Amino acid sequence: MRALVQRVSEARVTVEGEVIGEIGPGLLVLVCAMEGDPPAAPEKLAAKISKLRIFRDEDGRMNRSLLDSGGHALVVSQFTLAADTSRGNRPGFSTAAAPEAGEAAYIAFAEALGGLGVNVATGRFGADMKVSLINDGPVTIWLDTEA
């Protein structure tokens, strides 16, 4: 699985003009299941993200995790994280998991993150979503369970 994690002051996702997920301070997590991901990938990625020390401590240093800070997570499916641009200017997405497997992994990831004690809001798998955020820092981190 792949994820792009952004530390945010706030974030929201809308579908057809309706807000379906919204958080205050925490992380916006764009997540993509990849073809061939092992069954444990969602839990592995959730554990890593929940413990990333990217929130400021009392001294202003990035020393606290999402769990330490009590922040929330907005989890949004993003198959375009599988983009392959090695053969020209039009990205290919053949390394993304098939939609059924991708949705199952996305749900498993959100549930695993919630099971670790993170307050999780989500987007809607496969929907045309509009995501807005205020990036804090900015802090943006790329994660790949197979890297």
Domain borders along the chain are 2-137
Give me the catalytic one of 78, 109, 122, 145.
Answer: 78
Give me the catalytic one of 6, 55, 79, 122.
Answer: 79
CATH superfamily, domain 2-137, is D-tyrosyl-tRNA(Tyr) deacylase (3.50.80.10)
Q: Is 100 exposed, middle or buried (0-12, 13-18, 19+ CB in 10 A)?
A: exposed
What is the distance between the alpha carbons of residues 21 and 12, in angstroms, rounded to a whole number?
6
Per-residue pLDDT of the chain (147 residues; tens, 9 = 90+): 999 999 999 999 999 999 999 999 999 999 999 999 999 999 999 999 999 999 999 999 999 999 999 999 999 999 999 999 999 999 999 999 999 999 999 999 999 999 999 999 999 999 999 999 999 999 999 999 986
- Among the listed residues 106, 39, 27, 102, the one whose alpha carbon sits nearest the alpha carbon of residue 67: 27
Three-state secondary-structure class, residue 104: helix
- Among the listed residues 71, 74, 76, the one whose alpha carbon sits nearest the alpha carbon of residue 26: 71
How confident is the model at residue 82, as a pLDDT?
96
Strands 26-32 and 55-56: unpaired
Annotated active-site residue 6? The verdict is no
Phi/psi at 18 (nearest 5 deg)? -105, 130
Q: Quote the tokens at residue 53.
A: 């020390």
Residue type, 81: L
Annotated active-site residue 122? The verdict is no
